[in-house]
Amino acid sequence: MNEFNIHRIREDFPILTRRNFNNKQLIYFDNAATTQKPKQVIETIVNYYKNINSNVHRGVHFLSEEATTKFEEAREKVKQFINADYSEEIIFVRGTTEAINLVANSFCKNKLNENDEIIISSLEHHSNIVPWQMLCECTGAKLKVIPIDSNGDIIFEEFIKLLSEKTRLVAITHISNAIGTVNPIEEVIKTAHSKSIPVLIDGAQSIQHKKIDVKKLDCDFFAFSGHKVYGPTGIGILYGKKELLENMPPYQGGGEMIQSVSFEKTTYNTLPYKFEAGTPNIAGAVGLASALDYITQIGLDNIATYEREIFEFATEKIQDIDGIKIIGTAKEKANIISFLLNNLHPYDVGAILDNEGIAVRTGLHCAEPLMKIFSINGTVRVSLAFYNTKEEILKLVEAINKAKKLLT
């Protein structure tokens, strides 16, 4: 196991040396929105554009071949990272949002009618709610929502009650981006499968914190975004079991996804290209592969151990502040602490923290229905990554106390 050296790791992230408009050192606690990029990833992308840039799968020339090799190596890397069986099961998309929309449109659209149901949970990000609502609107299918208790844990007995012969898919987040609940996805998958119902996991908030093994999980689909796992924006992954993907129609039409085109009839390409219409985000894929290399080198176990330590430290320090109410106290939580300070508006608290150079997210966190369940208009959200430190957390506590003084 490599030694986890926080000081050396921080040197890999050039942005962490930034100062804000008050000349305060940046303290970045908005990692659930997007993570920062290590110089290894930035340099890989620069090198790609400087030396390799070309289109993939088309040219006879050496650059196109090199770009194609890099692109396909990136697919292979993702396959290994999540322990998929086949590289054809790895579809490059724009991000989690597009991955979920792909499944909603391709896996579900032609098959659903008013007798069918899709199950999601109360904890979902809008991108795992709205695509299903749109699907229900045009097919007449119904959306069923697993309720949560006051801690922010899904009520498993209610989930079991929702499952029926009408259920076509369960789509559920691994970790809530708004309140940090870690869902018991292993049991969710097992229970759904006992009734032959497929499961999609939204892994946008778990891929960067937990070892994901799609084979062990036995999930049918797994979606994540490159930018939340230290890679670039505009690239993400849909993993799907090969036998499911093979039987799904293309999601978008265009170049790359075809075998042969005539005005009378077009035949489609094989997996994974069937789902990759148009020129893909080649630099994004190469950058994502570099990010996966980077965290693999640090060690996923090292990352998990360190993150657990700072998460527990942060939870303890924040909840000790007089006037703090933590929203979401699930049995298992990770990396995200959402809170309210007295009756202050989260935005006002966030603005004071911003003055101190501390970047947090305030508001609904793209989880408006969840905020409604807690009868609140939003929270202040602190989300951690492995480059954060206890010193930064102590500065946050100081700044929260300052906000309280200034605003009350």
Closest separation between CB of residue 135 and ligand PMP, Å?
A: 17
For residues 219 and 191, is the Cβ–Cβ distance under 8 A?
A: no
Of 227 and 404, which has the nearer Cβ to ligand PMP? 227
Q: CA 330, CA 328: separation in Å to the nearest integer?
A: 6
Q: CA 375, CA 71: separation in Å to the nearest integer?
A: 46
Closest separation between CB of residue 354 and ligand PMP, Å?
A: 20
Closest separation between CB of residue 228 and ligand PMP, Å?
A: 6
Catalytic status, residue 136: no
Closest separation between CB of residue 204 and ligand PMP, Å?
A: 3
Helix axes 39-47, 282-298, angle to 10 degrees: 150
Window 89-118: contact mask with ligand PMP (x via CB under 6 A): ------xxx---------------------
Range 32-61, binding ligand PMP (CB under 6 A): 32
- Whose tokens are 């309720």? That residue is 147
Q: Interface with ligand PMP includes 127 (CB under 6 A)?
A: yes
83 burial via Cβ count (<10 Å: 0-12, 13-18, 19+) = middle
Nearest to 235 by CA among 331, 369, 99, 123: 99
Q: Interface with ligand PMP includes 379 (CB under 6 A)?
A: no
For residues 182 and 154, is the Cβ–Cβ distance under 8 A?
A: no
Size of the site for ligand PMP (CB under 6 A): 14
Say which residues have a Cβ less than 8 Å from residue 87's Cβ, sequence separation at least 6: 72, 75, 76, 79, 272
Closest separation between CB of residue 185 and ligand PMP, Å?
A: 12
Asked, as a colleague might, if the bond just before 272 is cis with ω within 30 of 0, I would say yes
Window 261-300: contact mask with ligand PMP (x via CB under 6 A): ----------------------------------------
Q: CA 107, CA 257: separation in Å to the nearest integer?
A: 17
Region of 48-56, 81-89, 199-207, 295-303 interacting with ligand PMP (CB under 6 A): 199-207
Given 122, 167, 173, 338, the residue binding ligand PMP (CB under 6 A): 173
Q: Which residues bind ligand PMP (CB under 6 A)?
A: 32, 95-97, 125, 127-128, 173, 177, 202, 204-205, 225, 366
Which residues are designated catalytic? 366
